[in-house]
Structure 1
C-alpha cells in the first residue's frame, strides 16, 4: 500500500498557522494505490475465499477491481462529507447462498448487529449473472438512496430488476420509513413478477420438473420487520394477486417445491381412492391459476384461489404457515365441467364470502349434481400433507360448508 507522507512540521507557531484542517490531515494518510491478496476473509459470518483487490483513490473516490469466491468485477465508492456515501458496482458475477461462502455457526446474519437505514450507502449496482446456491437466476439491477427528513432517515429502494429468459421481477420500496408496533424498522416493498415460463424459472431455482410452462404475473405488496436482506416470516404481511395460465403441475413429491406442493393436487388421489384419479395422477394441467393471497404475521391465507383445467376445476380456501410450513385448507374439486360450471370458475369469486358459501349459494342451484363435486380438508406439513375427504353437506344449509376446520 502506497501512502502520501504528511508535511514536515516546522516550529510550533508555523505549525499552528500552516497546519491543514483535521480532515485534510486525515486524507494525507489514505492510500493512493493498493494491491491486496487474502486467502480467506470473513464478513458478517460469511467466508470469502481467494480475495484479490487492486485499485486506486482520487480524492474522495475509491476504485477497485475485485475477484473472489463471492464476486467478480469493478467496485467504486465515493465518500461524502455527511452520510455513508455511494457504492457503484459493475459485476460479472455475484454468488450468494453457496457452499463457498458459508456462514460460521453462531455468526449468522441474524446474530449480526442490525444496521440503521441511515448507515447504508446509496447503491448503483448491476450484476450480469446473479447466482443463488449455484443456480444462475439472472441479471440484477439495483438503485437505492438514503432519504433524510428532520431527525429521521430511511433507505429507499428506487428500483430493483431481476430478469432472465423465464421471468422478470421488479420491486421498489423502503426500509425504515415505517415502524412496527414494537418499534422495529420495517421493510415495505411493492413488487411485480412477470412470468414467461414458470417451469423454466423454477428450474433456475433448483426445482426442475415441478411445473411445465405457465405464463402470467404475481403482483402486490409485502413487508416485514427488519432489513431487506433478512426477511422475517413472523412479522411478514402483505397482499398478492396471482394470475398464471397455460401450465401443468407435474408429478413430484409434495415437499419438492415447498409451498407449490400445496397446489399440486396429486396428493389427493395418491392418498385416497377417488373417482377422478386420472385427472391428477400425472399432474394437474391448468388453463389458469388465479386468486388473492393475504399474508399476516407469516400466515398466507386465501378465500378465492381458483384453478381451471380441461377436465376439472378446483376452488381453494384456507391458510399456509410460511415459517412452520404447515397448511389448513379446504379444497373443492369439480371433475366434470359443463357450460355452467366453466362459467362459474371463470368468474371471480367474491373474496369476502368465501368459496364454501359461494358454492352453496350459486353452484348447487344449477344443474350440476352434488355427487360430482368432492370436498377435502388438507392439513399437516407441506412435505407430508394429511388429506381427509369431507362428506357433502345438505343444500338446505348454505353456511355449513364454510371455512376449513
Structure 2
C-alpha cells in the first residue's frame, strides 16, 4: 500500500508473526523522495537541494504479551542523484556517490539513532519520546570508521571538517529559528539538547579563518544562550539574552580580516553595500577584550557598548588602553538610505608620545612629551570609510614638554608634515644650522583646528620652544592636498630662557642652550621676529621668508 511520510510518497508492506511471548510485526518501506519537497526542512534549505533519493527500509517491531514495545529500524539510501548547493561539507554535485545508512533501536520511552553518510561521516544519538520528542545527546564524527560512542553528558558533539561560517550563518538566518513557549530551540518539532560542542580545524567567518575551533553552546532558561570559545585566534565567551544586551568577554582576540572589495575598490566588513544594512534585528552588545590584536597590531584592552535604534547604531563607553596610550570614543552611525553619517567624539592621551608610537611599531620625531588630542569629527559615509570630502569637526591638541628630534622620522611624523611643520624646521635649520642641529626642544605645543568639508583651518597653533616660539595659522585643503599657512618665529635663546634655568629643567637642554647662547647668541639677539609663508602641495610645500624684523636695542 501507499502512504505519505514527510510529504513524500512511501510504499509500505508488512507481515505479522505470533510468537510464544510476543507478537512480531515486520514493515518494509520503499521510497524515491525529492529532497527539495521535504516539508520537515526549512525552505531556505530545500531551495538548495535537487534530484531524487531512492531508499529502502526494514522495521522490526516486537509487542510483548505483557505490554510495551521494542523496535529496530534499518534504512539504506543512495544519494547519487541528489544535488546540493548547501555550504561545505554538505555541498554535492549530481552523479557523485553518497551512500546513506540509518539505524534506530528503542522502546516507547526513547531510542538510539545512528548511521553514516558517505561511509566516513558517522553519527550516533539518543532521543527521548516523552513528554515531547527531544534529542538527549549525540555525536557526529568526520573521517570515522565505526559508530562513535555517545557523549557522557547531555548535549551534541559535532566534529566537522573545515567550514564556511559566513555561508552557514546566511543559510541559518534564512531558515530562521524555532522555539517553543519556554524559549527552547526546536527543529522539525523535536527539542534540541541544551549543549552543543562544535569542533572544526578551520572556520571562515568575518573575513578571517579561525583555526582549531572548539565552541560550546549552552542553552539556558528563557531562551538565553552561552557560547564558550577556544581557538588559536580567540578565547572567551558570548552570553545572549532576549531582553538584555549580549555580553562578549574575550581574554584574547587576534582579528586580521580580509574584507572583499566592492566595485569602487573599497573594502567592507559586510561584503556588500553598507547602505542596505538594517539594524532592526541587531542585538545590543557589550564588549570587553583583555588582549586585542587588530589588523596585526596589538591594541591592548578594549571595551565598548553598541546600541541599535532604528537606522542608528550608537557607540558609547568605548575605550582602548594599550598601556602607553588611551583612546576614549563615543559616536553613532546613521544608516539612512542615501544619507549615511558617522560621528565620533573623544580623546587620545598618553604620558610619552614616543612610547605610545613605539607600541604600535612606529617612530616619531616627537620625544618625551605627554599628549592629549580631543576630537569631534563627522563625515557622510560608513565608519570604516572616512570621506575626506565631507569630513568636518574640530581637533584640539596639547603636548607637554618634549623634543622634536628628527622631523623626517617615520609615519608618526605625518602630523608635523600635515602642517608642513617639518618643512619649516628644515628651513630654519638651513638658515640657522647650528641652532637646531641637536633637535628642537619645547615646553608645550597647543592648537585647535576646525574642519569643514575637508578644509582644515587653524589660527592658534603655538609651539612654545626653548630656542624660539612658533605660531602658525592658515588653511589646509585635505581634498586637494594644498596648504596656505603663515608661520611667525620669535627667537628666545637669550631673551627669556636663561642658561641656569635650562640646566635646572633638563641638563641636556641646558647644555644645548648654553652652547647656542655662546655661539649664536649674537645672531639671535639681532632678530626679534621671523615670518614665513607656506604654500603649495602638502608633499612639497614652498616656504618663503617674508619678514625678518631686527630686535630693538633695550633701553636702559
Query: TM-score scaled to structure 1, two decimals?
Result: 0.70
Structure 1 residue 193, shift from structure 2 partner: 2.3
Corresponding position of 2:344: 189
Corresponding position of 1:154: 312
Corresponding position of 1:284: 440
Which entry has the higher C-alpha Rg, 1 or 2?
2
Q: Choose which of 289, 296, 300 in structure 2 pairs with 1:134.
A: 296
1:191 and 1:329 map into 2 onto residues whose CA distance is: 27
Tell me, what secondary structure is at the counterpart of 1:166? coil
Tell me, what secondary structure is at the counterpart of 1:144? strand
2:476 is equivalent to residue 316 of structure 1: no
Structure 1 residue 288, shift from structure 2 partner: 0.7
Structure 1 residue 227, shift from structure 2 partner: 4.0
Change (3 A) 1:113 1:3: farther
RMSD: 3.8
Describe the superposition over 1:92-127 as per-residue Cα deviations: whole angstroms up to 9, x where unpaired.
22334x4xx333454821753322344432121111
Q: Choose which of 53, 59, 63 in structure 1 pairs with 2:226.
A: 63
Q: Choose which of 326, 333, 344 in structure 2 pairs with 1:168.
A: 326
Greater relative contact order (CA < 8 Å, ≥ 6 in sequence): 1
Change (3 A) 1:328 1:61: farther
Change (3 A) 1:68 1:291: same
Change (3 A) 1:273 1:208: closer
8 Å Cα contact 1:318/1:330 also seen in 2: yes
Q: Choose which of 298, 302, 310 in structure 1 pairs with 2:458.
A: 302
Structure 1 residue 145, shift from structure 2 partner: 2.2
Corresponding position of 2:56: none
Structure 1 residue 57, shift from structure 2 partner: 3.0
2:387 is equivalent to residue 235 of structure 1: no
Residue correspondences, number: 340
Tell me, what secondary structure is at the counterpart of 1:112? coil
2:356 is equivalent to residue 201 of structure 1: yes
8 Å Cα contact 1:265/1:280 also seen in 2: no
Structure 1 residue 379, shift from structure 2 partner: 3.5
1:173 and 1:287 map into 2 onto residues whose CA distance is: 33
Structure 1 residue 310, shift from structure 2 partner: 0.5
Tell me, what secondary structure is at the counterpart of 1:221? strand
8 Å Cα contact 2:215/2:230 also seen in 1: no
2:537 is equivalent to residue 380 of structure 1: yes
8 Å Cα contact 1:303/1:316 also seen in 2: yes
1:207 and 1:165 map into 2 onto residues whose CA distance is: 16
8 Å Cα contact 1:5/1:28 also seen in 2: no
2:368 is equivalent to residue 213 of structure 1: yes
Q: Is there any run of 5+ residues in structure 1 with no aligned partner, and where?
A: 9-20, 343-367, 396-405
Describe the superposition over 1:324-369 as per-residue Cα deviations: whole angstroms up to 9, x where unpaired.
6654432222233566899xxxxxxxxxxxxxxxxxxxxxxxxx97
Describe the superposition over 1:132-185 as per-residue Cα deviations: whole angstroms up to 9, x where unpaired.
4433222111123234xxxx4532222112123322222223332x97xx9523
Q: Choose which of 66, 78, 86 in structure 1 pairs with 2:241.
A: 78
1:380 and 1:328 map into 2 onto residues whose CA distance is: 9
8 Å Cα contact 2:333/2:340 also seen in 1: yes
2:480 and 2:410 map into 1 onto residues whose CA distance is: 13
Structure 1 residue 246, shift from structure 2 partner: 0.7
Tell me, what secondary structure is at the counterpart of 1:374? strand
Tell me, what secondary structure is at the counterpart of 1:28? strand
Change (3 A) 1:67 1:284: farther
Corresponding position of 1:349: none
Describe the superposition over 1:249-295 as per-residue Cα deviations: whole angstroms up to 9, x where unpaired.
22152663223333574433546774323444444322111011112
1:120 and 1:318 map into 2 onto residues whose CA distance is: 44
Tell me, what secondary structure is at the counterpart of 2:349? strand
Change (3 A) 1:112 1:388: same
1:254 and 1:328 map into 2 onto residues whose CA distance is: 24
Q: Is there any run of 5+ residues in structure 2 with no aligned partner, and where?
A: 1-122, 134-176, 499-524, 551-556
Tell me, what secondary structure is at the counterpart of 2:304? strand
1:4 and 1:158 map into 2 onto residues whose CA distance is: 46
8 Å Cα contact 1:264/1:283 also seen in 2: no
